[in-house]
Structure 1
């Protein structure tokens, strides 16, 4: 039988950690709003492409946190502000792009290229999301125990659990938003694709404004 202290992390706090992570991921934020708007406007395949990018970006943050790189945002206010406003600007650019229908494609090859762009956009959007950095700076360290594995090992384990929960939540958002859009389309209310994309642009612009307000320090 494995002793309690032989676990790399405290097994008693895995459950509370997963609950905390789930609550964080279910809190409305830029990733949730962007994925919902994208999936409603362009379908679940494009939504999943963006989810892959967001997940890759979150994984990058998790690895950076495990090696102590995200702590720089605690000591450098200018760097944090630069990250914050870069994220806002990127979301506004995505909103403008959606409004103008720049990602409207038709052929298979173009669709693949479009999904690769959506992956990159999801990745960049998450990298420029200061809420991701704040999570790994503030919440994650509170679950690391000194009488278990090395802090870096524990950070990697908990961070991996967070990434998995995040991916599941984001995939659920994609499926839900795409299904809702299909229902509206069948009801005769969602046939205008350009209208959906313009609505997506408005939603993403509102998310950018919300991000600027929510992340102020």
Structure 2
């Protein structure tokens, strides 16, 4: 029985890793933020995303995530809220010109608190996070291994841990590249490329989450 349980945990961890390695709103936002604003903002956003995933895990344990999955209206509100929010972030990145002038380079810096809130909101407006807890996580619940609530919380914690590790790697890699775009012209160009990427992710997100 313990071998079966260990195998189930390993399978769940691998599933979570593959899902988090798939490009999506969280990955795109964290890369864009870290590349343009640096590691402090990126790490703060990772914390926000982790909190958002934890919230959905707690919601799943209470059975509420099933309500999100079964309510077309609530699902659509979350889905389009996420699309609009990503488009707003893309517009903000495109429209910001502060870094083109050296004396104003710090004016558009995002404070860690802002990055944390944006990471949290980006994740909470992603209905796919809720659907994961409804469609994937229950398959790994083991009868006779404790209460469903306890197992759900444990698997949720494992998922959040794996997701956070993946997000930290993204932030570290992106922030390492920041030194290569230290001139105002390069920073403006990169911000606009990332703005287009975020807008493209928003459009992809709208189509990929449609039912």
Q: Do they superpose with TM above 0.5?
A: yes
SS in 1 for 2:64: coil
1:87 aligns with 2:87: no
Runs of 4+ deviating beyond 4 Å:
102-105
The corresponding residue for 2:154 is 157
Per the alignment, do residues 16 and 59 of structure 1 end up closer, same or farther by CA in structure 2, a change over 3 Å counting? Answer: same
Per the alignment, do residues 106 and 195 of structure 1 end up closer, same or farther by CA in structure 2, a change over 3 Å counting? Answer: same
Give the counterpart of 2:45 among 39, 45, 50: 50
The corresponding residue for 2:191 is 197
How many angstroms apart in 1 are the aligned matches of 2:175 and 2:210?
Answer: 32
Per the alignment, do residues 203 and 28 of structure 1 end up closer, same or farther by CA in structure 2, a change over 3 Å counting? Answer: same
SS in 2 for 1:149: coil
Question: Are 1:97 and 1:103, in contact at CA under 8 Å, matched by a contact in 2?
Answer: no
Q: How does 1:6-155 map to 2 (within 5 A)?
A: 10-101=5-96, 106=106, 114-155=111-152
Give the stretch that moved more between structures: 51-60 or 72-81: 72-81
TM-score normalised per structure 2: 0.89
Question: Are 2:69 and 2:130, in contact at CA under 8 Å, matched by a contact in 1?
Answer: no
How many angstroms apart in 1 are the aligned matches of 2:151 and 2:36?
Answer: 39
Give the stretch that moved more between structures: 113-122 or 61-70: 113-122
Give the counterpart of 1:185 among 181, 185, 188: 181
Q: How does 1:165-176 map to 2 (within 5 A)?
A: 165-176=162-173
Question: Are 2:29 and 2:198, in contact at CA under 8 Å, matched by a contact in 1?
Answer: yes
TM-score normalised per structure 1: 0.87
Instruction: Give the aligned length.
Output: 206
Listed as ranges, the gaps of 5+ residues in structure 2 are 100-104
SS in 2 for 1:146: coil
